[in-house]
Amino acid sequence: MADRTRTSVAVAGLGAIGADVVKALDQGIEGLTLVAVSAQNPDKHRGWLAGLKTAPKMVAIEELADVADIVVECAPSKVVRSIVAPVVERGKTAVVLSVGALLQNEDLIDIARRNGGQIIVPTGALIGLDAVTAAAVGSIHSAKLVTRKPIAGLLGAPHLVENRIPIEGITEPLRIFEGTARDAAEGFPANLNVAVALSLAGIGPDRTRVEIWADPTVTRNTHRIEVDSDSARFSMTIENIPSENPKTGRITALSVIACLRKLRASLRIGT
């Protein structure tokens, strides 16, 4: 008989973040059981997966919603819909890291609402989303994100390519974008999930302002948020150490793990 006290979890994508989440689940998270994973290149991962305490099944993306109660998306943004839609259609939970993709698939939120599903966006590489969420219960007048990244973390971004903005070899900080969170997500889909998370927690992607700097003087992905509301005015800065993928900070995987721990924890801290 299945253990009804535990919730089954699957992970889509086994890059730097997904692999860390899988290993944490295998080591044990209260109330959760890892049952399946999905990857673009399954053979690449079979070796280390076999070495886990309990090796999960390797399944196709379209099967994830059938085998798990919670599906954690750690995949490229282009496949977010194919992962999330089946999950929320079945009234289950999707933990979404590629949150920028939600702006191109906003109907996923309505699908979740109609079917009793849920989309969870972890804090990720940002800071202070609890405060932003609380302030949004009242009235937020303005919200701004200023991001500074090493050159390697920005190379190849569509905004740079389309506007022919060269950043290799620069010796001083260069502002390469200023605009809305919606436009930032389109121009930097692998870099600015933090901007979308901030906007969804607060005043939306069209009112949230974003500045992006290519900065050869920094070695960490740095994000500063500035919020003015009727309940508080606050600013916060976080400097994230890049992971194996220079576009992503190490803390992102830890944020997902912390999010999963809160789902069934006996004690939850934070909003």
Of 8, 245, 255, 253, the C-alpha closest to 128 is 255
Q: Would residue 141 show up in a list of annotated catalytic residues for this protein?
A: no
Residue 205 CA to residue 196 CA, distance in Å, equals: 6
Which among 45, 141, 159, 223 is annotated as catalytic? 223
Residue 202 CA to residue 192 CA, distance in Å, equals: 16
Cβ–Cβ < 8 Å for 173, 214: yes
Catalytically active residues, by annotation:
223
